[in-house]
Amino acid sequence: MKEKEIEDLIADKSFGTDIFDKADKIRKENFGDGVHLRALIEFSNYCSRNCLYCGLRRDNNKLKRYRMSSKEILSCAKKAFDMGFKTVVLQSGEDLFFKTKDLCAIVYKIKKNYGLRVTLSAGLLKKSDYGDLKNSGVDRYLLKFETSDKKLYEYLKPDSVFGDRLKAIEILKELNYQTGSGIMAGLPGQNDKILAKDLKLIKDMELDMVSVGPFISDPDTPLKNCSTIEEFKMIKILALTRILSPFSHMPATTSMGVLYKNGRKKALLAGANVLMPDITPVIYGENYRIYPGKNIKDPEDNINEIKDMLSSISRHISYEFGDSVRGGFYGKNS
């Protein structure tokens, strides 16, 4: 698909269900009906960056800041293991307090004690840090490029350089991480042409994991009162992402569930094959407010609710690791 075709499909308000059927068929062929659960641990909400869209930005002084201790993170990983999860996702702001060697020690213990896959999502780090973390056992890394438009990126992330983010994603791939990236849809200043370029870049990156979620305006950021993307368009973008990236694991994001009724279920019907239940202790998680509404416990975070939701769409929880299906170290062909 050419960029212009993608743009026209995004702009088209009239078409039928073809695109959704195609996305769902591709998902079924490449991933089956099992949905992988990744347990999300939000281990620190301190952030040294000032992204305009994010509630964790350093200038948001309304937020109560926290960071979990190594012990707390480990007991959360144990909880994930006891609940039957196969993957933990450790996510944080860019918290300069956490030294790479401390994170390495935590990851090493999680792997040794519980044998879980570990995904890290802690933003931009030095190449040597990514290397050390990989050696300590981190399997996967999530680093969204957020938008492919350099000007928009650098407006939204005033202390960041677009090229550095792309370079970091390349480094993660070189280091043999199962690499995840993606965008937010509905950002102010993002038109259909940019969205088409975003999806094309996601395709060209040949990612192991791709995350596309709607932007949600936070009242304590400079983007307060900004509108976001309408539901139909958002779901269409997910379906197009699945068609363009047939072999990437794709979550039905928490933001889908926060913004739209049955949003995560709709995403699962449009190509998604992953859910990321939040298992952060509530006293902390309620302050991990990237956007509002996130801290309200989604009933879908309860495993029984997830099972019911999945069986209503003839899907089920997968108890496999859910590694990349692209081949390489963990993949099908290894």
For ligand SF4, the closer CB: 56 or 325 = 56
For ligand SAH, the closer CB: 24 or 278 = 278
192-205 and 231-244 are packed helices; what angle lies between their axes, rounded to 10 degrees? 30
For ligand SF4, the closer CB: 146 or 298 = 146
Q: Residue 57 touches which of ligand SAH, ligand SF4, none (CB < 5 to 8 A by kind)? A: ligand SF4
Positions that interact with ligand SAH (CB under 6 A): 53-54, 91, 93-94, 121, 123, 143-144, 146, 184, 213, 215-216, 218, 255, 290-291
Q: How far is the CB of 246 from ligand SF4 (least distance, A)?
A: 28
Q: Check if the beta carbon of residue 156 is closer than 8 Å to that of residue 127.
A: no
Q: Is position 109 an interface residue for ligand SF4 (rule: CB under 6 A)? A: no
Q: Which two tokens stand for residue 120?
A: 């890290």
Q: Residue 91 touches which of ligand SAH, ligand SF4, none (CB < 5 to 8 A by kind)? A: ligand SAH
Residue of 210, 145, 148 lying closest to 178 (CA atoms): 210
Q: Is 65 exposed, middle or buried (0-12, 13-18, 19+ CB in 10 A)?
A: middle
* Binder of ligand SF4 out of 6, 40, 56, 196 (CB under 6 A): 56
70's CB contacts (< 8 A; 6+ apart) are: 102, 105, 106
**Footprint (CB under 6 A) of ligand SF4, residues 235-264:** none
Q: How far is the CB of 52 from ligand SAH (least distance, A)?
A: 9
CA 154 to chain centre: 20
62's CB contacts (< 8 A; 6+ apart) are: 220
The position carrying tokens 């003839």 is 314
For ligand SAH, the closer CB: 138 or 143 = 143
* Binder of ligand SF4 out of 10, 19, 41, 47 (CB under 6 A): 47
Torsion angle in degrees (nearest 10) through CA of 272, 275, 276, 281 = 150
For ligand SAH, the closer CB: 51 or 80 = 51
162-174 and 127-136 are packed helices; what angle lies between their axes, rounded to 10 degrees? 30
Q: How far is the CB of 77 from ligand SF4 (least distance, A)?
A: 21
Q: Residue 184 touches which of ligand SF4, ligand SAH, none (CB < 5 to 8 A by kind)? A: ligand SAH
Please choose, out of 54-62, 69-77, 106-114, 194-202, the segment that lies near ligand SF4 by the rule CB under 6 A: 54-62
Alpha carbon distance 245, 194 (integer Å): 18
The position carrying tokens 């996702």 is 89
Neighbours of 99 (CB within 10 A): 10
**Footprint (CB under 6 A) of ligand SF4, residues 182-241:** none
Binding site for ligand SF4 (CB under 6 A): 47, 49, 51, 54, 56-57, 93-94, 123
